[in-house]
A and B are shown apart, each in its own frame.
Chain A
Amino acid sequence: MIIRKHAPFTALFILLIILAGAPLLAVLGYTFFKNGTLSFESLLTVLQDNNIIKTMQNSLLLGLYVIAATTCIALPLAIIRTKTFLVKKDWLDIVFIIPFMTPPYIGSMGWILFMQHNGYYEQLFSSEAPFTFFSVPGMVFIMSMHLYPFLYLMLKNALLRLDGSFQEATLIYGGHPIINWIRVVLPLLSSSYVMAALLIFIKTLAEFGTPATFGKRIGYDVFITEIHGYLSRWPINISAATSLSLILLSVCMIIWYIQNLISRRYTYGTHSGRSISSSQTKDSLLVRIFSIGYVLLILGLSIGIPYFSIVVTSLLKVRGEPLSFSNLTLSHYTELFTVGSSSLQALLNSINYAFIASTIAALIGFCIALYVGDAKKKPQQLLDFISLLSNIIPGIVFVVGLILFWNAAWLPATIYNTNWMPILTYIVLFLPFSVQYTKSALSQLHQSIYQSNAVFAQNNWVILLKVWLPLLGQGILAGWMMTFIISMRELVGSLLILPPSVETSATYIYSQFEQGDVSKGMAMAFITVLLTVVCIFLIEIMQRKALSRNE
């Protein structure tokens, strides 16, 4: 009976340990154990290397810069979307997700093509840019244009929660609006802000796309590019890679710990009853013009310019010649889809891997979400924590761990160098999406649903088929799609882990951009972002439908 009672936990726990735990242990083991004895040598060597210290500095500084820049972009946006007439335009949020969902390497390539010598800026304005774009500020700018939607959405939701009776109480008891803002809104907002900012920091540390494309051009090395370098450039230096991974892991864990501390101590129940949006706002013309202008500016910079560069490049007959209709062609796309070409093969590989990975992840995520439930018991919390690890630990740490673990000599069989390796990697990296989407669908239901099931249903199959699948189906599907699009374009994992001479669309874009046919690469990039945007809209529609049904 005891075994039966703990069977779901044991099964899921073992599965998660193989998926996520083993790779992390492999990183630890490789760093600290030499021939069976504990040694700090490799970590110390790394910590004494000036180059690596410089890299660490670069990474951490970059994180701080990006927090500052995204704040400058996102805070005004959040205020505009909650306090002006734009408060009702909810579709704007879907548009704002697009830059966040655009693979960072594609956005960065778009900006490089736009600003480089003889790029589209010079062609459009027939003069050189009045500033040097290829610099650290430029890199911060590109990364911020990718990450600001995340901060914006968190700030906006925090501001919305402050509406309603909080707002009314402040109006009655408060003083000058600006004082109210400083005394009430800012303190209540700050915990959300700090949490979002720390996540931005982690995401900056974990990002590969921009440092690998733009950073490389300006010689700005960070953690991730350095780890990638140690594993892919001769002489290969695994212990340096694991040591760096470990440092990166520690930094992220510390940040995550701080974040938890803050959220426990400074998060207030800002749900103040019914929040009837009292915004019968009649904004002045100036406010209107400024709001629209600001939104358009941000969208132009974060979507307009990079997408313009990608599309135009993918359509150009001869690059370098002026932009004109006679210089446009669809031939790059027809070449891309030629049967038997390496490009079509790469695209199909991507779709295959992503399809299998997201299907398995959806299944595991569904089981975990059901088991975790309201996360009141210790085993539930433990599983929840492990399954969400790859949200806080940069993907590259897992990738390094997966390589080490699946190459271990003592394994009787390994999937290394087979097609299952990228699939497994994607599952490990993106499992949190399927867990979280299912969990959020679950959280919209009453707690007593569990008890209703226990009292009235005949057996567990009936509960699964008649209750969970119909109720959670859309959440699961949304999580599946999310995992699918993100797996399809994963770059650094794919670069390191694909079997020899196998390409995916992401590695194809990267290699064509670095040393090949840029136009073909950009045609592939356009296909990728097109798929992404379509999926975002579908997910958004599904989520909204589910919400309105359950209300």
Chain B
Amino acid sequence: MIIHLKGVEKKYGHVQAVKPIHLTIADTFVTILGQSGCGKTTLLKMLAGLTEPTSGEIYFDDRTIFSKSKKINVKPNKRQIAMVFQDFGLWPHMTVFENIAFGLRGKVAKAERTDIVHDALAKVKLEAKAAVKPGELSGGQQQRVALARAIAINPKLILFDEALSALDAILREQMREEILTIVQSIGSKAIFVTHDQTEAMAMSDSMIVMDIGEVVQTGSPEAIYHAPTNSFVANFIGKTNWVEDQEKMIRPEHIHPDPQKNTTLRSGVVKKSMYEGDRYLIFVEVDGYLWRFYHNDSYPQGTKIKLYLEENQIIPLKKSNHR
């Protein structure tokens, strides 16, 4: 399914939460990334139909889902979407089975429902918990139920609103992979909203980076990482070393402490070495900026070192309206 947004915006009184967005989303796994308050959740909720845009049009393939001018606003339950929430949004009074079966009411005959629910539970490996109420499950298990509820209705699109933020680090990583596998297996499209750049880069084919209500860059994680359009994106995704303030930067992996071809030379003083398990992250003060690069060994603090920058990896940037 391809999603088109034409001039979609949201205003709360005079506050512009989301500035007019023109965008086509074609990839299967897409993340909307940004800091809290940048409008990413509002954008997601407009796609879901939970928040009504102030103006603009939304199309799922050729179907008009929302149009201010034509007065079309398809209800959330008629958009063939599912959603997974940060706080799970499971109904506390229903069993796991009932929670998952709920979205199938009126769509699928009762006899079939049982099969579909068990299928969904099998996919998230929670068959044993069908008769249990959500309150008796752990956070990770509740999130699996929420995922099962989403896939059970066989949606064309699943929206994840900070879905992994409530889980601890190990569980989060495990769930990332599971979500990808499961969503792929049902042939659905997924849009994740997150503020976690590692999560965004790991999970998506393409990313939509937002800042103060505006889409600042879209593209594959690699493209955005290697060629951020402005200093905000450069800072927000990956680590940046400023060659020229806010205008030219280089990523840590392109800085080397020993001579190489096509490099320029800078010198600096080591401030700190941080062990990361497989290597060290070295902090160096260069021309008043704090730079970072990777190395197999640590340096004592205060060491004066020479740094070789790969010339073709120095990226020029536009200034962002962010500080």
Q: Are A448 and B87 in contact (CB under 8 A)?
A: yes
Cβ of B186 under 8 Å from chain A: no
The interface residues of chain A lying within 8 Å CB-to-CB of B102 are 456-457, 466
Q: Are A458 and B91 in contact (CB under 8 A)?
A: no
The interface residues of chain A lying within 8 Å CB-to-CB of B88 are 446, 448
Q: B107: which of A448, A449, A458, A470 is its contact (CB, 8 Å)? A: A458
Q: B92: which of A447, A451, A459, A471 is its contact (CB, 8 Å)? A: A471
Cβ of A452 under 8 Å from chain B: yes
Q: A458: which of B48, B86, B105, B135 is its contact (CB, 8 Å)? A: B105
The interface residues of chain A lying within 8 Å CB-to-CB of B75 are 454
Interface residues of B, Cβ cutoff 8 Å to A: 45, 48-50, 71, 75-77, 81-83, 85-94, 102-103, 105-107, 135, 149, 153, 161
Q: Are A451 and B85 in contact (CB under 8 A)?
A: yes
Q: Using C-beta atoms within 8 Å of the partner chain, give the interface range for chain A.
A: 20 to 34
Q: B85: which of A448, A467, A471 is its contact (CB, 8 Å)? A: A448
Write the nearest CB–CB distance from A451 to chain B, whole angstroms: 5
The interface residues of chain B lying within 8 Å CB-to-CB of A456 are 77, 82, 102-103, 149, 153
The interface residues of chain B lying within 8 Å CB-to-CB of A458 are 77, 105-107
Distance, CA A462 to CA B101, complexed state (A): 13
The interface residues of chain B lying within 8 Å CB-to-CB of A470 are 93
Most chain A beta carbons < 10 A, residue from B81, B83, B93 = B93
The 8 closest A-B pairs by CB, nearest first: A448-B89, A456-B103, A458-B106, A448-B85, A452-B89, A454-B76, A446-B87, A455-B83
Q: Are A452 and B105 in contact (CB under 8 A)?
A: no
The interface residues of chain B lying within 8 Å CB-to-CB of A549 are 92-93, 135
> Which A residues from 456 to 492 make CB contacts under 8 A with B?
456-459, 462, 466-467, 470-471
Q: Are B81 and A471 in contact (CB under 8 A)?
A: no
Most chain B beta carbons < 10 A, residue from A1, A449, A456 = A456
Q: Are A462 and B106 in contact (CB under 8 A)?
A: yes
Main DSSP-derived SS at the B contact region: loop
Most chain A beta carbons < 10 A, residue from B89, B107, B149 = B89
Distance, CA A452 to CA B103, complexed state (A): 9
Cβ of A551 under 8 Å from chain B: yes
Distance, CA A471 to CA B134, complexed state (A): 14
Distance, CA A470 to CA B94, complexed state (A): 9
Q: Are B81 and A455 in contact (CB under 8 A)?
A: yes
Write the nearest CB–CB distance from B263 to chain A, whole angstroms: 51
Do A452 and B77 contact each other (CB < 8 Å), given the known contacts A458-B107, A549-B135, A551-B135? no
The interface residues of chain A lying within 8 Å CB-to-CB of B50 are 451, 454-455
Distance, CA A458 to CA B104, complexed state (A): 8
Do A471 and B86 contact each other (CB < 8 Å), given the known contacts A1-B71, A454-B50, A457-B102? no
The interface residues of chain A lying within 8 Å CB-to-CB of B103 are 455-457
Cβ of A501 under 8 Å from chain B: no
Cβ of A367 under 8 Å from chain B: no
Provide a sorted-by-A list of 27 A–B residue pairs whose CB atoms are within 8 angstroms.
Answer: A446-B85, A446-B87, A446-B89, A448-B86, A448-B87, A448-B88, A451-B50, A451-B83, A452-B90, A454-B75, A455-B50, A455-B81, A455-B82, A455-B103, A456-B82, A456-B153, A457-B102, A457-B105, A458-B77, A458-B105, A458-B106, A466-B94, A466-B102, A470-B93, A471-B93, A549-B92, A550-B92
